[in-house]
Amino acid sequence: MKTILLLEDLPEIRAWLVTLVMQVFPDGQISEAARVHDALELVSAIKFDLALIDLGLPDGSGVAVVEKLRETQSECQSVVVTIHDDDEHLFPALQAGAFGYILKEQPRELITEQLQRMAQGEPPLSPSIARRVIAYFAAQSKPQQPDLMPHVSLTERESEVLLRVAKGFTLPEIGVQLGLSRHTIADYVKQIYRKLNVSSRAEAALEAQRLGLFRR
């Protein structure tokens, strides 16, 4: 049995998502929330396995819930469900610890499949997100504050996977190209998401520290 958090402010969409989630996880136990505040309360009360989180909510951004989940329930998979298809909206959520994303307007079959994949540990990674991640780590690797920054870098293989994703190859195709199993590739992607989160947190901490120094 899976415990699932569903954060979505539009009732119709929420209802639709519920039916969809029920279809993928028939034995799932779904907790619904329409606001960030409610979702945070649920997170502190219940331990979730999966969280579907909308970003644009009446009382704030779903990114806060993603962060809270990563901090308190590291086992929980946060998935962003959004109407924004551009990486500018998605990337902050991924940095905060989201494990994937689903575009809301996609047909039911597609979303179903993506949910199943994620449940099996295969998070989606679009070329535009991959490019963004590459750019992010390229900027990180520049020697700006080597002492202060806990350095997180991608392995050669992870970079290779990212580059191929950016060129439009699907994960199975990359697996074939690199002679790796589908699961290994999926692991790389998960690892990339994790590193993105860790590096982002380190950066945020550093930023906070710097602001603290200034304040003092």
Chain residues in the site for another protein (CB under 8 A)? 10, 12-13, 16, 56, 83-85, 104-105, 108, 110, 113, 126-128, 131, 165-170, 172-173
The nearest distance, CB 99 to another protein, in angstroms, is: 19
Residue number, 150 or 172, with CB nearest to another protein: 172
Residue number, 15 or 211, with CB nearest to another protein: 15
How far apart are alpha carbons 76 and 174 in whole angstroms? 27
The nearest distance, CB 4 to another protein, in angstroms, is: 18
Contact (CB, 8 A) for 73 and 82? no
Contact (CB, 8 A) for 159 and 134? yes
The nearest distance, CB 171 to another protein, in angstroms, is: 9
Contact (CB, 8 A) for 199 and 137? yes
How far apart are alpha carbons 183 and 187 in whole angstroms? 6
Residue number, 126 or 191, with CB nearest to another protein: 126
How far apart are alpha carbons 142 and 31 in whole angstroms? 43
Question: Terminus-to-terminus CA distance in the chain, angstroms?
Answer: 50
The nearest distance, CB 154 to another protein, in angstroms, is: 18
Residue number, 43 or 57, with CB nearest to another protein: 57
